[in-house]
Amino acid sequence: MVEHTVNMRRFCETDEGKNALGMLFSLAIMPVTLSPTKDGPEDLWDAARRTSCQLHTAFDKGEMLKQLRVTNYTVSRMKTDATLKTTLEKSVQQRCFGISNLGDCSGILSGGGKHVQVTDIARAVNLQEGQTVLHYVHTYQGRLRYNLTYNGKRFTPEKASQYASWTLELLRSLITDMDGTKV
């Protein structure tokens, strides 16, 4: 699956909508099939170009607006408890999470100053419609940091905390120390 963040303002029909303040974005998610026999490392850019063409075709056909409408419709009718229960019943390997890797933030903030010492960074976004949760992962001063932003209409703080613990459980199961031991 390829996940690409799209500025939805480009699809607004009025100048007011296109130039309004604030973010309006959606995630374009589409299946992409790569074959080990056809798509080796030397074919990376050909595969990237094909994927880019698929994304632009979806944009031109109006698929992004349809996807945004469907997402808003389904999320507004979602039963959070049932969704969380279904997620919990799956094994860690079967759970599906969309995670944004924001990279190493140490170079952005030096961490020092005359009146302040930065020791941690939290990133978040205001979720009112559409997405239920957004995950952010980054490193700062050699530490892996994880932030979960959740839609307050759909999740209670307790449910969001439970959901975040599942995500961390998944991350821990995937990350190994240099000597191969689990973290």
Please tell me the distance from the alpha carbon of residue 126 to that of residue 25, in angstroms, as a whole number: 12
Provide the token pair at 116. 């302040």
Q: Using CB atoms within 10 Å of the CB of residue 157, give its burial: 0 to 12 exposed, 13 to 18 middle, 19+ buried.
A: exposed
Provide the token pair at 78. 């979602």
What's residue 110's pLDDT? 73
SS3 state of residue 5: strand
Mean pLDDT of 21-32: 62
pLDDT band at 178 (very low <50, low <70, confident <90, very high): very low
Mean pLDDT of 2-29: 61
What's residue 141's pLDDT? 85
What's residue 103's pLDDT? 75
Mean pLDDT of 81-100: 62
What's residue 128's pLDDT? 64
Please tell me the distance from the alpha carbon of residue 28 to that of residue 66, in angstroms, as a whole number: 11
Closest CA relative to residue 144, chosen from 108, 116, 104, 115: 104
pLDDT band at 72 (very low <50, low <70, confident <90, very high): low
Query: Which neighbouring-strand residues pair with 161?
Result: none
Please tell me the distance from the alpha carbon of residue 9 to that of residue 22, in angstroms, as a whole number: 10
Q: Model pTM?
A: 0.47
Element (H, E) at 144: strand 143-150
Answer with the residue of higher pLDDT: 4 or 127.
127
Mean pLDDT of 72-86: 62
